[in-house]
Structures are given as C-alpha cells and as structure tokens.
Structure 1
C-alpha cells in the first residue's frame, strides 16, 4: 500500500507562526544553508512581520499546524529594479526532499508572475547545495555566475551561484 502524502498547507506569515519560524531557523542544518545568523530571536521575526510592506510576501509551510518551511519574496524597491525581485527560503531538515520547497517556490513564483508582474527573479545559493540548485533549475532558474568566497559558513569562506529566472512575454502571432 503506497504511503499517503502528508497534508502541507501554506499560509501568509503571521503572529501565530513566530515561535515556529524561530525554531525553524534555530536548527543549525537550516541556518547553515541561508545567509541568516544562527539563533534568531523571536523579536527578529516580529520585526519582519511588522514591516507591512506590500513588496515583501512571507509564506510559511505548515504540517499539522507546525512550521516546516518558509519563503520570503521581495520585489526590489529601486524604481529601475522594480521589475525584479529575490527570495530566501528554508525547509526543516526532516522535510527536505519531500516537496515542501517545491510547494513554497511554486506559490511564490505564482505571486511574482501573476500579482507583482515581476520579469526577473534572482537568488544566491551555496554552490554545494545540490538539492536547492536542482529545485531552482526545475523552475527555470539558470546560473549566471559564481561568487567566490561570498559568505562564511562553518568558519570557512564558501562560493555561491548567482541564479535568475527571466519571464519572457508571450510571442505575438
């Protein structure tokens, strides 16, 4: 008998998720794949929630009410970069490889394309994070360059890939 897929729901990040999202990024295996500092405080997340900026969309993935992932999509505020945005994402280690990232990214890109009309979405990802790179490629992201010694992780400098997805307008007949 095949295993039943767990129900994973997405919600807009709100006050009720602060404890869960704080716990998510307290996990060293999640924090090490992001540019966030380890052990973020609840207050850090409260401030992010309070920023009420329509150019920033924050979603959480939930399983039985527990936060198991998050994504933040941000449209750039500079006028000449208003057609572009970026995102950051984290998924609980126990849920990696189980479709949570796919669900979060699909929802964020739907908002980027159909509600924010973004033409370009860009990101940085650690060059050794093969699972994330595979996910991004599945959604049409392409590598644009390597940023050498971009960040410190586990006490050493690591490279990242600069990736982007361009949404092309439909061709006229």
Structure 2
C-alpha cells in the first residue's frame, strides 16, 4: 500500500524517544481540548506510557520539520483473548497540523496496519459530539456511530456528550487458495 504523505510531512512509527514530544503535543493548547487530557499537566505525567513499547499496538507520529505535530495510536483495550481482535483508536493533532489532511494520513497508515498486518477486526473510538471535523473524517474512513454518551466528559466547565464509533474490517482476511 502506498501511504499518502506530502513533501513536508513524514509519518513514521513512534519511538520511545518521541515520548516527550508526544506528551507535550497532548498537553498543548488547541490539542488537549479535543482529548481527555488536562491542561497544565507536566509533560512527565505521560512519559512512562509513551516510552513503553507496545508489541500489540501501533503508534504513529506525524513530523513537520522534525517536530511531532500529530500522533495516532491503536491500543489493546482489554487483554482478554475474546477481545484480542479489537483495538481502540486515539489521535491528536497540534493546531498547526489541523485541517491539512494529516489526520487522514495518520488514520490511513494505522488502518493499513490493522487491516493487513495485525488481524484486527474492530477499531473503536470515542469522539466529542461537537467535533464535526473529526466525525466527518471517521465516517469517511468507514466508522459508524454506535451510541451517544450524555455528559461523558468535562470540557471548559461544561459536561459534553461523546459518540462511540467503530469500524469493522471491510474485507476480513481469508486463506489464499
């Protein structure tokens, strides 16, 4: 598969050495509001999680001029064998990365990993119900809304709803005869 990239954007696997930049991205104004991260948290509060190598997941970064401006991860949500075919999606973009197609680049690469290399059947995500741009991206990549969670998270002093969305593998693996 060819990965959509531009001359000024590189998508690659996240390395343990990227943990500081990923944590800083997640805490950045203009980024944290669309996630469940909190403002004014020390970068060190997330380092351990992003330094850890996850052999069952996929973590990607988007780089512009050598700086991390985007992150996407597919994570095992539950260690049960009965849910080993499921990954949870997390994605975050800096304000400089938003509206430039970088989210789609990250998602395309992560979906290729899930569909063609790791035996993932189902990808789940939660998205704030007021995040129209992200919802449109997810729908365009085959995600469907499965439910609405009222008062799911606190954002700027108000409880907001979130949508649960999921995507099933569009063409599950089979034996090549």
- TM more than 0.5: yes
Question: RMSD across aligned C-alpha pairs, in angstroms?
Answer: 2.0
Q: Which whole-Å CA distance do the structure 1 matches of 2:41 and 2:89 have between them?
A: 18
- Native 8 Å contact 1:25 1:38 kept in 2: no
3-state SS of 1:28 partner: coil
From 123, 145, 153, the equivalent of 1:121 is 123
Question: Residue 66 of structure 2 corresponds to which residue in structure 1?
Answer: 65
- 1:23 and 1:53, CA in 2 relative to 1: closer, same or farther beyond 3 A? closer
Question: Residue 157 of structure 2 corresponds to which residue in structure 1?
Answer: 155
- 1:115 and 1:41, CA in 2 relative to 1: closer, same or farther beyond 3 A? farther
List per-residue Cα deviations over 1:39-75 (Å, max 9, x = no partner).
3433334312333221222111001101110011113
- Native 8 Å contact 2:59 2:74 kept in 1: yes
3-state SS of 1:32 partner: helix
From 89, 100, 103, the equivalent of 1:101 is 103
3-state SS of 1:80 partner: helix
- Structure 1, unpaired ranges of 5+: none
List per-residue Cα deviations over 1:102-161 (Å, max 9, x = no partner).
010011111111111111111110000000000001100011111111111111110001
Q: Which whole-Å CA distance do the structure 2 matches of 1:49 and 1:162 have between them?
A: 24
Matched, 1:51 2:52: yes
Q: Structure 2-normalised TM-score?
A: 0.86
- Native 8 Å contact 1:25 1:39 kept in 2: no
Q: Which whole-Å CA distance do the structure 2 matches of 1:6 and 1:40 have between them?
A: 33
List per-residue Cα deviations over 1:2-56 (Å, max 9, x = no partner).
xxx5521112222442342233123222101001222343333431233322122
- Structure 2, unpaired ranges of 5+: 1-5
- 1:42 and 1:23, CA in 2 relative to 1: closer, same or farther beyond 3 A? closer
Question: Residue 36 of structure 2 corresponds to which residue in structure 1?
Answer: 35
